[in-house]
Structure 1
Amino acid sequence: MPRLNISLRAGKSEAYRQAILDSLYRAMRDALTVPEDDQFMTITEHDASNFRHGTAFGVARSEDLVYIQIIVFDTRTPDQKKAFFRRATDLLGEHPGIRPEDVFINIVEAAKENWSVGHGLAQFA
């Protein structure tokens, strides 16, 4: 039951944004064994004045930088997380063509009892 929050600079086409969503969904399915149709993702676009980045850690990022935050159950292994980072970066490079330097991902883990996915119920507690 991952939840993805994707942030990028405004101005990309709908096809570009949909390619991001499609690539990340495929990466989740491949690396994190996410069930079919488990797609809870949003894209937020930002004006240039509200979107900042640097070259920390020696990474030369461009204006095409995409921030990806994925919130998942706290059950994924380090190997699964590494596989997701790699698979997501590879797929985003293929379509819509984002450079590896411009893919910034962080994973936030939450215990299953901290999720309600509808009807005010704690479905996983």
Structure 2
Amino acid sequence: MPLVQVSLRRGKSAAYHQAIFDGVYRAMRETFNVPEDDRFMTITEHDASTFSVSPTYFGIARSEDAVILQLTVNNTRTREQKQALYRRIVELLHESPGIRTEDVFISLVEVLPENWSFGHGIAQYVADKG
């Protein structure tokens, strides 16, 4: 159950936003075995004064079109799955909506399964099944 939060500069279209949602969701389905309909995502747009991304950190030339993705996920994936997710997200976002590979910054925040409630105030992953 990843929770995806996307931050980017203001001014992109609804179609651009949807392409990000679709690409990230597809990458998660393909690499993290995320179930159908497990889609919880937000996009927050920022003015230039509230969005700061290093244009050169790690020798990567980023533009003003940089996108920050933070995914909160269960701590159950292997290093290989994580690396596959990063690659696939970048590939798909490059295809559509055309984000440069240098402009995709991804951060995973791993949590225990009991740290989720999908509604009703219940931790569904650990709730008593009996």
Q: With the length of structure 1 as denominator, give the TM-score of the two structures.
A: 0.98
**Which residue of structure 2 aligns with residue 113 of structure 1?**
114
Structure 1 residue 124: deviation in Å? Answer: 1.1
Answer yes or no: is 1:36 the counterpart of 2:36. Answer: yes
Answer yes or no: is 1:48 the counterpart of 2:48. Answer: yes
Structure 1 residue 46: deviation in Å? Answer: 0.2
Answer yes or no: is 1:103 the counterpart of 2:104. Answer: yes
**Which residue of structure 1 aligns with residue 124 of structure 2?**
123
Structure 1 residue 9: deviation in Å? Answer: 0.2
Tell me, in whole angstroms, the C-alpha distance in 2 between the residues paired with 1:70 and 1:92.
15
Structure 1 residue 111: deviation in Å? Answer: 0.3
> Which 4+ stretches in 1 moved above 4 angstroms?
none
Structure 1 residue 93: deviation in Å? Answer: 0.3
Tell me, in whole angstroms, the C-alpha distance in 2 between the residues paired with 1:79 and 1:23.
19
Tell me, in whole angstroms, the C-alpha distance in 2 between the residues paired with 1:52 and 1:31.
29
**Which residue of structure 1 aligns with residue 4 of structure 2?**
4
Q: Answer with 1 or 2: which has the greater Rg.
A: 2
| Identity value in percent | 62
Unmatched 5+ stretches in structure 2: none
Give 3-state SS (helix, strand or coil) of 1:69's partner.
strand
Tell me, in whole angstroms, the C-alpha distance in 2 between the residues paired with 1:16 and 1:121.
34
Tell me, in whole angstroms, the C-alpha distance in 1 between the residues paired with 2:123 and 2:33.
22
Computed over aligned residues only, the root mean square deviation of the Cα atoms, in angstroms, reads 0.6
Structure 1 residue 40: deviation in Å? Answer: 0.1
Report the number of matched residues: 125
Structure 1 residue 100: deviation in Å? Answer: 0.6
Deviation per CA, 1:7-59: give whole Å up to 9, x if none: 00000011111100000000000110000111000000000111111111111
Q: With the length of structure 2 as denominator, give the TM-score of the two structures.
A: 0.95
Give 3-state SS (helix, strand or coil) of 1:80's partner.
helix
